[in-house]
């Protein structure tokens, strides 16, 4: 601004009035305290309601790596990674600098009638991890990556039906919802696509459905995100053979499991001979900054969908391939390699599971510890002793999943560790921390978890009192 320019700098005071223009610091300083009220008034009002109820209504102020801090400077350990999007940790300096660089570069982005270099470079890099796949479509989220895979599978095979697994989660837009096997999500949103649910691991059911001749594909998470259920060994390979025999496609949804989460770059790579025809990726690819989704596929599938110049825009997204998202993806993959985060995920995941598994014999409420890499489930189950069994039964009668909620709450309240219950009506908590966690973080989690288990088994009044509050709420919500 020159001295003759009458426009004030954003945020600067104007004579006799309020600051004019946009200034982020001023806005947050003035209005940041209203966050829960604003959300309750203008967004999904049940979120602040739920957060107030369980005492999760914190004021976090700063974040870095696998940690964030509240206004008093208390440090929290993040075992949730923003539902998995913070794979390389929060505000990774390499990703952050790359994004500053791309903003400062003033690129002619999204002209829509040219070819920019960044999408091609990210596609080339992504495809280097799956040499049997040839092409990429970029959208803006996990569910959009799934929608793309469903459309491409139907068009390429000329068949309408997609098979999916019970308990699966593939996103919440209408197509993805049609292949969502988690109870409750589909209710009230019909009619959906004519897709069909089968049990994960049930090859007979798959063969039976394929015989009808109308199946375009099966979509499967190599490890299910809700509950961290791992299919039986050999299932993906056998399913792939059956699908191929019926000219149907295998879609692996690696939105959550992909990019190192399970200790290999993709989870499907843990089973020899598996080569999905379509593969969906999102979450970690964003660097935790810019939403991005990618659908990778075989050449012939893309060639069929985009079979003529007339069809060039038959599947596209206005923001797809935008420069910021592409840079976030490229910088993230560079960090994954430079910091060997796939290897870290495997090592830290092994350590976490080994230490937690050692507790299973000590605590009767603890039933199972499972997972791969840094995708870990801790499952609770019916205890043997009479006293604990009474309490457990009281919770189960009100609603399944309340005990897991009873564990998640003190982990945050007492130990400042953020975790989540892994799906509705299951007694499982899921741990998906940023892939940058170290041994000190694992130690902190295991010590905190041990303390909470001690409390639950020692009949610690506070924890079970909270359980009774949850029971009352569950009954009131019926």
Q: Give bridge partners of residue 64 from the DSSP assignment.
A: 67
179 contributes a contact to ligand PLP by CB under 6 A: no
3-state secondary structure of 446: helix
Task: Candidates 86, 133, 143, 265: give the one binding ligand PLP (CB under 6 A).
Answer: 143
Q: For every residue of 272-318, which 3-state class applies, written as one string?
A: CCCCCCEEEECHHHHCCCCCCEEEEECHHHHHHHCCCHHHCCCCCCC
Q: What is the dihedral of CA 193, 302, 331, 272, to 10 degrees?
A: 80
CB of 253 to ligand PLP, least distance (A): 5
Of 70, 84, 62, give the one whose Cα is nearest residue 283: 84
Task: Please report, as residue ranges, which positions from 223 to 252 form the binding site for ligand PLP (by CB under 6 A).
Answer: 225
Residue keyed to tokens 């982005």: 109
3-state secondary structure of 252: strand
CB of 424 to ligand PLP, least distance (A): 14
Based on CB atoms, which residue is closest to ligand PLP, 169 or 229?
Answer: 169
142 contributes a contact to ligand PLP by CB under 6 A: yes
Q: Which stretch binds ligand PLP (CB under 6 A): 68-76, 126-134, 139-147, 332-340?
A: 139-147
265 contributes a contact to ligand PLP by CB under 6 A: no
CB of 445 to ligand PLP, least distance (A): 22
256 contributes a contact to ligand PLP by CB under 6 A: yes
44 contributes a contact to ligand PLP by CB under 6 A: no
Report residue 417: phi and psi, to 5°: -125, 125
Based on CB atoms, which residue is closest to ligand PLP, 145 or 369?
Answer: 145
Task: Candidates 13, 64, 83, 454: give the one binding ligand PLP (CB under 6 A).
Answer: 83
CB of 283 to ligand PLP, least distance (A): 6
148 contributes a contact to ligand PLP by CB under 6 A: no
CB of 374 to ligand PLP, least distance (A): 14
Of 397, 390, 381, 408, give the one whose Cα is nearest residue 475: 397
Please give the residue whose beta carbon sits closest to ligand PLP in the complex. 142
The tally of CA atoms less than 13 A away on the side-chain side of residue 297 is 25
Based on CB atoms, which residue is closest to ligand PLP, 285 or 453?
Answer: 285
CB of 107 to ligand PLP, least distance (A): 25
> In angstroms, rounded to a whole number, what is the distance separating the alpha carbons of residues 317 and 282?
15
221 contributes a contact to ligand PLP by CB under 6 A: yes
CA 46 to chain centre: 21
169 contributes a contact to ligand PLP by CB under 6 A: yes
121 contact partners, CB below 8 Å, separation of at least 6: 326, 330
282 contributes a contact to ligand PLP by CB under 6 A: yes
Confirm if 325 and 144 have CB atoms less than 8 A apart.
no
> In angstroms, rounded to a whole number, what is the distance separating the alpha carbons of residues 127 and 139?
16
Q: Which stretch binds ligand PLP (CB under 6 A): 137-145, 306-314, 366-374, 426-434?
A: 137-145
Q: Give bridge partners of residue 170 from the DSSP assignment.
A: none
Q: Are strands 67-70 and 75-78 parallel, antiparallel or unpaired?
A: antiparallel
Task: Candidates 87, 171, 320, 401: give the one binding ligand PLP (CB under 6 A).
Answer: 171
CB of 52 to ligand PLP, least distance (A): 24
349 contributes a contact to ligand PLP by CB under 6 A: no
> In angstroms, rounded to a whole number, what is the distance separating the alpha carbons of residues 36 and 20?
25
Q: What is the contact surface with ligand PLP in residues (CB under 6 A)?
A: 83, 141-143, 146, 169-171, 221, 225, 253, 255-256, 282
């Amino acid at each position: 601004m020159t001295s003759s320019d009458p426009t004030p700098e954003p945020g600067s005071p104007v004579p006799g009035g309020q600051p004019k223009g946009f200034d982020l610091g001023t806005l947050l300083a003035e209005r940041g305290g209203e966050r829960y009220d604003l959300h309750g008034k203008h967004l999904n009002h049940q979120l602040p309601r739920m957060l107030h109820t369980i005492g999760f209504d914190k004021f976090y102020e700063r974040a870095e790596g696998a940690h964030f801090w509240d206004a008093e400077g208390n440090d929290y350990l993040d075992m949730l990674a923003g539902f998995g999007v913070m794979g390389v940790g929060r505000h990774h300096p390499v990703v952050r600098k790359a994004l500053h660089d791309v903003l400062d570069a003033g690129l002619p982005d999204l002209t829509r009638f040219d070819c920019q270099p960044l999408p091609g470079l990210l596609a080339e890099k992504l495809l280097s991890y799956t040499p049997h796949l040839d092409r990429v479509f970029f959208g803006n989220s996990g569910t959009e990556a799934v929608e793309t895979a469903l459309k491409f599978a139907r068009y390429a095979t000329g068949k309408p039906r997609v098979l999916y697994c019970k308990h699966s989660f593939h996103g919440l837009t209408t197509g993805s919802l049609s292949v969502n096997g988690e109870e409750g999500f589909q209710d009230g949103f019909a009619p959906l696509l004519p897709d069909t649910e089968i049990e994960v691991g049930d090859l007979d059911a798959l063969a039976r459905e394929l015989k009808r001749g109308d199946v375009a594909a099966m979509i499967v998470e190599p490890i299910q995100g809700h509950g961290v259920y791992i299919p039986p060994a050999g299932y993906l390979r056998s399913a792939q053979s059956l699908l191929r025999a019926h000219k149907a496609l295998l879609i692996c949804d690696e939105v959550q499991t992909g990019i190192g989460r399970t200790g290999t770059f993709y989870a499907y790579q843990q089973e020899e001979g598996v080569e999905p025809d379509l593969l969906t990726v999102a979450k970690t690819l964003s660097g935790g900054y810019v939403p991005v989704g990618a659908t990778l596929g075989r050449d012939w599938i893309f060639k069929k969908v985009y079979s003529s110049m007339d069809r060039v825009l038959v599947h596209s997204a206005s923001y797809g391939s935008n420069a910021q998202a592409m840079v976030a993806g490229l910088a993230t993959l560079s960090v994954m390699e430079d910091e060997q985060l796939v290897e870290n995920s495997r090592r830290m995941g092994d350590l976490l599971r080994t230490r937690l598994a050692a507790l299973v014999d000590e605590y009767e409420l603890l039933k199972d510890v499972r997972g791969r890499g840094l995708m870990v489930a801790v499952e609770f189950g019916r205890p043997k002793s009479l006293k604990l069994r009474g309490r457990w039964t009281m919770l189960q009668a009100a609603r399944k999943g309340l005990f897991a909620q009873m564990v998640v709450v003190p982990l945050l309240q007492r130990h400042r560790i953020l975790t989540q219950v892994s799906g509705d009506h299951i007694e499982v908590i899921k741990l998906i921390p940023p892939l940058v966690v170290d041994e000190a973080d694992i130690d902190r989690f295991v010590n905190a978890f041990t303390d909470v288990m001690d409390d639950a088994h020692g009949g610690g009044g506070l924890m079970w009192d909270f359980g009774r509050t949850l029971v009352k709420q569950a009954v009131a919500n019926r």
